[in-house]
Amino acid sequence: MLCQQTLPPHATHLPIIRLFNTTTKGTMVQANSDYASMILEKNLMHRNHVSYTESQTLRCTVFDAQGTLVSPSMDIKRTELITKHGLFPRDIRKIDQTNHSFEIAPAISVRRTSILVSLLHIRCLIKADTVILFDDSGSRTSRAHSQFIAELESKLKSTQQSDLPYEIRALEAVLVSALANLDAEMKVNTTVTKGVLAELEEEITREKLRFLLIQNKKISTFAQKATLVRDVIDELLENDDDLAGMYLTAKKNGVPRSVDDHAEIEMLLESYYNHCDEIVQTINRVINNVRTSEEIINISSWIVTEINLCYLD
Spell out the domains of the chain, with CATH numbers in brackets. 57-310 (1.20.58.340)
Single-letter amino acid code for the residue at 126: I
Length reported for the chain: 313
Q: Is beta strand 107-110 parallel, antiparallel or unpaired with respect to 122-126?
A: unpaired
On whether the CB atoms of residues 135 and 61 are closer than 8 A, the answer is yes
pLDDT at 294: 78
Q: Is the dihedral of CA 80, 97, 54, 67 positive or negative?
A: negative
On whether the CB atoms of residues 208 and 200 are closer than 8 A, the answer is yes
Nearest-5° angle of CA 234, CA 240, CA 243?
75
In whole angstroms, how far apart are CA 79 and each of 36, 85, 127, 249? 36, 10, 17, 24
Element (DSSP H or E) covering residue 62: strand 57-63
In whole angstroms, how far apart are CA 200 and each of 186, 204, 241, 256, 293? 21, 5, 52, 59, 9
- Phi/psi-derived region of residue 131, left when phi > 0, alpha when psi is between -120 and 50, beta in every other case: beta
pLDDT at 99: 52
Q: Is beta strand 16-19 parallel, antiparallel or unpaired with respect to 2-5?
A: antiparallel
3-class state of residue 262 by DSSP: coil
pLDDT, one tens digit for every residue, the chain (313 residues): 444 444 444 444 444 444 444 444 454 444 455 555 555 444 544 444 434 444 688 888 999 999 898 888 788 888 888 888 888 888 887 777 655 545 678 999 999 899 999 998 899 999 999 999 988 655 555 677 788 898 899 889 887 667 889 999 999 999 999 999 999 999 999 999 999 888 888 888 888 888 888 999 999 999 999 999 999 999 999 999 999 999 999 999 999 999 999 999 999 999 999 999 999 999 999 999 988 887 777 655 555 554 555 555 5
| pTM reported for the whole predicted model | 0.74
pLDDT at 47: 45
